[in-house]
């Protein structure tokens, strides 16, 4: 709802950058802000095209979808689209818009006028068509803030309240570049980031580390990275972090089994890790999305403010059909609120 700008409301303001206008960002945002599961203390500030927001609202109402937020009751920073868009089709216009919206939202946060950022999905293809050669929003945020960032996915089980965390050692790079990017320094840094995040919820987290190769290398028979790099690095890190239990490298095909079990239990008593370090993008995101697709939240560590995002993309195949589920966006907004307190 709209509010007068006071120091108190600024503390409660979460900025939502609406992502690619040809995708489902505006739809899931309006649905999420109307959800009964959303924390009611949150004061949303949307950055996007006001005309597009109102059009989406009217289309949702015409589809018989009423549990949504009325734009008349929202604060919106209007950065209009330069051209009309076609749902499901990204181009330089949609890429330019989502890029401008994110830059504006970030600048507001850097000015101290809000407490956290939530980003709807963007199209990397559209960004590139618009001349913005960033691998994703995480990388742009790192550039805008001059900070080293990490990509973590967190989710709270609706079955028992257990928190499930997976951090990616490498992110948007091709598989054939992973070996060259995995270094002792990188692994140690990512473990430190994962530990610090998990310590928000437990004093002595249990951390698991996935192996790189099948069977975690089988003692060098199916790859030498575990023997030559990962195991020595973990041993060094253990010495520097006494009292923290870390297990790994674990065969990747079984590394998330205890997490899946913990997620589905009726109680939160389990032997699952508090955090898992995955060594590359799909190694971590396949199990995360299989276990917790609607609840998982992309969380950027290392920024001077909290940033979260749904764990899915623009869903261009259903854009404009008003079938998108808002659950991950609700989780992203609620987690941004919780983590920034």
CB neighbour list of residue 230: distance below 8 Å, 6 or more residues apart: 187, 209, 211, 212, 248, 249
pLDDT digits (tens, 9 = 90+) for 27-58: 999 999 999 999 989 999 999 999 999 999 99
Residue pair 286/166 in contact (Cβ under 8 Å)? The answer is no
| 266 Cβ contact partners less than 8 Å away, ≥ 6 residues apart | 159, 160
Do 308 and 206 meet the contact criterion of CB atoms below 8 Å apart? no
pLDDT tens across the length of the chain (341 residues): 454 454 444 667 999 999 999 999 999 999 999 999 999 899 999 999 999 999 999 999 999 999 999 999 999 999 999 999 999 999 999 999 999 999 999 999 999 999 999 999 999 999 999 999 998 999 999 999 999 999 999 999 999 999 999 999 999 999 999 999 999 999 999 999 999 999 999 999 999 999 999 999 899 999 999 999 999 999 999 999 999 999 999 999 999 999 999 999 988 788 899 999 999 999 999 999 999 999 999 999 999 999 999 989 999 999 999 999 999 999 999 999 999 98
Give the HSE-up count for residue 213: Cα atoms under 13 Å, Cβ half-sphere.
17
CATH code linked to domain 1-146+302-341: 3.40.718.10
pLDDT of 307-334, one tens digit each? 999 989 999 999 999 999 999 999 999 9
CATH classification code of 150-294: 3.40.718.10
What residues form DSSP beta bridges with 223?
A: 221
Q: Write out the two tokens for 57.
A: 């609202």
User: Mean pLDDT, the chain, as a whole number?
Assistant: 94
Q: Where are the domains of the chain?
A: 1-146+302-341, 150-294
Closest C-alpha to 85, from 33, 131, 126, 118:
126
1-146+302-341 and 150-294, same CATH topology = yes
Beta strands in the chain (DSSP E): 13-17, 43-48, 75-78, 116-119, 150-156, 163-168, 206-210, 245-250, 275-278, 297-301, 306-310
């Amino acid at each position: 709802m709209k509010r007068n700008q006071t120091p108190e409301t600024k503390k409660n303001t979460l900025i939502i950058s609406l992502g690619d206008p040809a995708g489902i960002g505006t739809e899931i945002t309006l649905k999420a802000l109307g959800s009964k599961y959303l924390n009611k203390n949150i004061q949303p500030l949307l950055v996007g095209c006001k005309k597009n927001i109102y059009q989406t609202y009217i289309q949702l109402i015409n589809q018989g979808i009423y549990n949504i937020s009325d734009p008349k009751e929202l604060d919106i920073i209007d950065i209009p689209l330069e051209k009309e868009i076609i749902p499901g089709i990204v181009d330089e216009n949609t890429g330019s818009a989502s890029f401008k919206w994110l830059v504006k939202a970030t600048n507001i946060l850097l000015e101290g006028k809000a407490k956290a950022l939530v980003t709807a999905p963007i199209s990397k293809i559209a960004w590139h068509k618009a001349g913005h050669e960033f691998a994703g929003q995480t990388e742009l945020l790192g550039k805008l803030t001059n900070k080293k960032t990490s990509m973590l996915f967190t989710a709270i089980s609706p079955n028992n309240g257990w928190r499930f965390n997976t951090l990616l050692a490498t992110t948007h790079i091709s598989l054939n570049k992973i070996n060259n990017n995995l270094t002792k320094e990188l692994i140690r840094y990512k473990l430190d980031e994962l530990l610090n995040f998990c310590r928000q919820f437990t004093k002595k987290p249990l951390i698991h580390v996935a192996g790189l190769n099948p069977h975690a290398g089988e003692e060098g028979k199916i790859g030498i990275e575990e023997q030559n790099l990962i195991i020595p690095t973990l041993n060094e890190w253990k010495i520097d972090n006494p009292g923290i239990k870390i297990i790994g490298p674990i065969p990747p095909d079984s590394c998330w089994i205890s997490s899946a079990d913990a997620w589905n239990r009726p109680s939160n008593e389990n032997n699952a890790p508090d955090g898992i370090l995955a060594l590359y993008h799909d190694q971590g995101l396949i199990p995360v999305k299989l276990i917790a697709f609607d609840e998982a939240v992309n969380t950027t560590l290392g920024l001077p403010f909290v940033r979260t995002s749904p764990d899915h993309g623009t869903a261009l195949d259903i854009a404009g059909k008003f079938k998108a589920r808002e659950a991950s966006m609700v989780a992203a907004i609620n987690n941004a609120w919780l983590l920034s307190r």
